[in-house]
Amino acid sequence: MPRYEKALADYQESVRRIVIEHCFSADQALGAVLLRERRRFGRPRFSIALVYGSEGVDTGVAELFRRIQFEEEQSAVQLSRRAHQIYVRSLFGLISTLLSALVVADTREVQSNRVVVAVESVGRELDKLATFVQSSARRTALGLYLAGLPIGALLGGVLVLLAGESLTIDNYIPNNLLPICLASGAIGAVISVMARVSRGEALDVDSDKGNVVTLLAGSFRAIIGAVLGAVLCVLIRGGILPLDVPDPEETSCLFFAGLAFLAGFTERWAQDTIVSSAPKVS
């Protein structure tokens, strides 16, 4: 027992994790260790260390172990800590079930049949867990994307303030028209996302990009809307995009503000409009 405790302590120190559970096959050729991060604050992340060699191990079992290891590592990027903890514990339960089935049998044929049945059963359960990972990853990515919207709105507000204080811009586009278009475009982008979420429409958020990239993508939405609104204003005022602008100054301001809002609200429409206004190269 002292040798076991020392070996366990040395292993935990080497991997900088705490061993929660472990299980091994009857012949000790296969094994799995459930590990937990050393953290004082916040929810710790769990992981699984698999032990298996290339010799004396059934090909189907080795392939299944490689699949489990790959999916566990991939889920660490896609899932929140709580969802990942549930997923890893479920994986460890499947591994324990598989290893408990790999006991020494009376004949090689019986042992081979038992391995095949166990591998197929665990494979089916892994497919079910994959569905859980996909749905949880989408929810996590959507939450991060929406959390980035206020950040983008704040950065859009900074752009509005800078444009409003710029004397150079005011010389070419008077009456604070460009800051109004920046603000209207950003508001349109935020309202677009809010409307789609409230209607239950699925947002195209990639859950494989990681938390930071997903958060930045959400913040970029408002900035893109603001810039598109400003670009449409510049193109119309510069005569590149031929549109009839109302003559009265007050009506003109409302016209550009509404156009910028539409540009942020319908990003694809704004992009198509800008592309169509580009000079054709013969």
Longest Cα–Cα distance of the chain, Å, equals: 95
Q: Confidence band (pLDDT; 50, 70, 90) for 279? A: low
Give the whole-angstrom CA distance, residue 1 versus residue 245.
87
pLDDT of residue 176: 81
50 band by pLDDT with thresholds 50, 70 and 90: confident
CB 238 within 8 A of CB 256: no
Residue where the block lists tokens 């900074």: 158
Q: Which residues of 83-120 are buried (b: 16+ CB within 10 A; e: fewer)?
A: bbbbbbeebbebbbebbebbeeeeeeeebeeebeebbe
Average pLDDT estimate for 33-59: 76
pLDDT at 156 > cutoff 80 = yes
Taking the C-alpha atoms of residue 247 and residue 251, their distance in angstroms, rounded to an integer, is 7
Spell out the residues 6+ positions from residue 188 whose beta carbon is closer than 8 angstroms to its own.
225, 229, 260, 261, 262, 263, 264, 265, 266
Whether 241 contacts 235, CB under 8 Å: yes
- Centre a 10 Å sphere on the Cβ of residue 194 and count the other Cβ atoms it contains: 12
Per-residue confidence (pLDDT) for residue 212, from 0 to 100: 82
Confidence of residue 174 (pLDDT cuts 50, 70, 90): confident
The pLDDT of residue 187: 93
pLDDT of residue 111: 60
Q: Give the C-alpha distances (Å, rounded to integers) separating 73 from 32, 34, 119.
A: 15, 13, 20
Nearest to residue 145, comparing CAs of 205, 81, 78, 233?
A: 205
Could you report the per-residue pLDDT of 206-225, keeping only the tens digit for each? 766 777 888 888 899 999 99
Name residue 45's amino acid.
R
| pLDDT for the residue numbered 188 | 92
135 vs 124, 138, 139, 141, CA distance in Å?
Answer: 18, 5, 6, 10
Residue (of 174, 153, 166) closest to 256 by Cα position: 174
> Is 272 a residue whose pLDDT tops 50?
yes
Judged against a pLDDT cut of 80, whether residue 48 lies above it is answered with: yes
Q: Which residues make Cβ contacts (< 8 Å) with residue 80, sequence separation at least 6?
A: 136, 140
- The domain locations on the chain are 2-104, 138-277
Read off the pLDDT band of 226 (50, 70, 90): very high
Q: In 3-state terms, the chain is what percent helix, strand and coil (to 5)? A: 70, 5, 25
Secondary structure of residue 50 in the 3-state scheme: strand
Separation CA 227–CA 181 (nearest Å): 9
96's tokens: 């324990």
pLDDT of residue 167: 66
